[in-house]
Amino acid sequence: MSADDALARAERRFGVRFPQDYRDFLAAEGSMSRFVPPADDYLVINPVEELVPVNEAGGIQNRFPGGVVIGGDGSREFLTYDFRQDPPTLVLLDVSAPDWSSALPQARSLSALLERFPETGWTFDD
C-alpha cells in the first residue's frame, strides 16, 4: 500500500481530511522519531501506515471522539489532532487519559509545532 493509499484509508476510516501541512510533512519526511535539540524533548510523528493500527489499538475514537493520534513523545503521551474544531489543533493526551478533559494544547498546526518545538519542546501547561 502506498503512502497516499494509507492516508486515504485513514481519512475514510476516521471521517476526516488531514491538514495540508501534515500531508506535506508526510510527503517530504514520511515520519520522525528523535530527540530535538536544543529542547532535547523526544518527538515522534508516526509513519502514515501506522495511523489506523495505532488509533484502533488505543481505542482512541472511543475515548476521544474526533481525535486522531499522529505521534507522541515516545513514551506515555499521544500527539493527537482534535478534529472537533476546524481547523483541527494538536494536543497531547496521556495514554491513560479517560477523555478530552485531559488534553494539553500544543499548537494550532503541525507547522507551528515543528517551528517552536526545538526551542520549547512539549507544553505541559493547560
Whole-number mean pLDDT of the chain?
94
Domain range list for the chain: 3-115
- 99-112: average pLDDT: 96
CA 94 to chain centre: 12
**Residue 23, pLDDT score:** 95
* Contacts of 110 by beta carbon, 8 Å cutoff, 6+ apart: 19, 21, 22, 25, 45, 70, 90
Region 3-115: CATH code: 3.40.1580.10
Q: Roughly what angle, to the nearest 10 degrees, separates helices 20-28 and 110-120?
A: 70
pLDDT tens digits for 41-99?
999 999 999 999 999 987 898 999 999 999 999 999 999 999 999 999 999 999 999 99
Question: Residue 126 pLDDT more than 70?
Answer: no
